[in-house]
Chains A and B, each alone.
Chain A
């Protein structure tokens, strides 16, 4: 039996421990809640900063394509148009290429090649966006200017899609920005696809091979249906990146407030409008730019929400 006088002291000790535990837990919880505060704060602060434009004449702001700092008349249509068009071009180009790379890395390449190539593709994601912008402006824009006449002469002559490839070969423009964005988001989509392709049970694939399927049939009929929701999630993740990307598109977009049918014409996007004009803007102009930021945040939030939900479905299927 312990001596009588040690009992209260050990009791006291466990009480101190419990108190410290509660403090520690509180501290950790506070830090975790800061993550929520950051997201909520970003939404609320841009809403507050853009209130002058958003609430005074909200519908006009959303539906007008005017952007005139002199008469203080702002409409978000042209930047929204540019953001959507460049992101769509990026998706159309990046999704098949990412799929091809993921297929190569999971099914075709010899094992010794997979690691290095996967690392190289992921390095594309760690190159800062300003470098993409510089490369885009100084190297890729002249390159595009040299091949755009060819595009106009061939694709531009087609019915229907021909309209998309008309116009002077400036090099700058929606198409160029879309291609640069495609290169930027490719590693994100690819790494999701590669990761989920590896979760497909080997048994399923081997059964299919045993029935005489070709590699392509295994991928198209077994792997892809099995991972469908996560692949869509990965694509939305890439879309979220593309919508919010600033530096890579600002240089190559041409900064023109116009809505055109041709992809070769210059345009603007939400993020590049903000980056280009914010520091010179005052009053309503600045408020309009912050309101644009709010729109961008809401749109990307929804897109990323869908992406994460789709990705989580697969995680649940795995039993995590």
Chain B
């Protein structure tokens, strides 16, 4: 009996395009794949990226249901009997992820040993032997986050072998590993083959499949286009052969030898370009000032003369300033719009993000409602509406930048020749838009559910006060969020300040209820002045003094954040904290 039999496996996905007018389009990733694997065989699934290799594997390891077709592993159906299948298979995939970064290698293995029910008395010996097998002995107590890709990959293999599976799935295990690491990995896999393990290996490297596999199936656009032993497949291709030669330090006569290979061989040597990139990066890492790096990046590709040396210099300089302002505005607007799309990409996120402050508003309305004083309810109605903007701006901004860190895009932001401030401010501006929705939602909620009628005596002053309050909050959020650039725990600062901000800024509690020193502290926060201005405008009093102080604080925070962001970036570069998640 074959250890694995796949019959006409198919899998289609629905992909979504568009934000407001979403279109769903079906994509067929696997189109009727059939093959079998015998015990002790190393079977290769060879194909380019997007050919359907991983989708096929995921159906076989029970993580995806086939749209049609069937597959059995040791007689157990992957759809009907997933637990029996899972007991008998091991799964290893390529790439950096798939391990608990902050646990040691030993703890990663211990955890999966428990999940695969490896008896406690055997765990220590088995883990020790597997660490020996994959060449990680002596490193097992180190955290995985410090491991190289090659080490991670070997740890993946040890994890996949913990329970001695009948069939091991290796999904592109050598992807992204350097040649030496990949060779060691291939040796490990070859060792498993010698021990008689049955393996399904996917790869897009022909030489890897040729070296390791007994049989190979070539997959393209979800269909198997050829199956056979490596020798059979090679025999079918008679038109020519592809010889890929990787040469390091290929200089002088050695390069000539490579170029002198038989006719038909194509030799690409891009050594020079790569070295120049490396030189540029290397110099940057040695600590050149970021401004210089940014200037260098901005000037890359330019061949024009310095503007001051040009006869029409003044006019050109003015044009350049206009161009810079235009570019900055375009960056701001584009990033603001993209950030809004990120929020709106899930209607779930967007809607729930707006209604979150309503829970606090509702609690406040219920509490003030108990007092039986209609004026107190109006006070709460206006305060609760503005209160919601504090959490959206001050706390969510740092969360938004933290998610850049998690997604690994923070380094890209810092590398870009644009000032970091230009990249971060639109994030808070997008959140200001969400905050505005939240404010309106709270006012409507108060009006229609609790009957709170907030009248605005001076609408113009009210709008100005609101705009200045939101802008100053955006700068405060900007100040909090730049700490995330340097410290991966920086987002907690936003969380820490959420309740104090609600408590101290006069949203629901008049400042005179606090001790004097607390009142002084509260007056250093822009929304305290913004809230006072909004209440004055609503009552028909002139709010311009409060608005000016609020704007002044906002401006001060913006300048502070801009200066701080540059320093924090330098510090992050020095301490290598940009890539930490």
A and B co-occur in one complex? no
